[in-house]
Amino acid sequence: MTDIQAQPADLVVGAKPPEYLEGPLTRIDIVRYAGAGGDFNPIHHDDTRASALSRSVLSRRRGPGH
């Protein structure tokens, strides 16, 4: 990946930026992003906890008799 730094004189109204392609999103990327914001809740990266919480939330939302 090359780092392209546009200079103010190079910018043109209506011009499209160069296409930016990055590799696949990984679990490490998600943890780093959450950590950058100070959100270290394991639900963002731990499949077991996320799955357990989603089942718990969905079962409560249905309510009795559903």
* Residue 3 covered by a domain: no
Predicted local distance difference test score (pLDDT) of residue 1: 46
pLDDT digits (tens, 9 = 90+) for 7-64: 777 788 888 887 877 788 888 888 888 889 898 888 877 888 888 877 776 666 555 5
Spatial neighbors of 22 by CB under 8 A, at least 6 apart, are 1
The reply to whether the predicted model has a pTM over 0.85 is: no
Range of the domain at 56: 26-61
Q: What is the structure's pLDDT at 49?
A: 82
What's the total number of domains in the chain?
Answer: 1
Q: Is residue 30 part of a domain?
A: yes
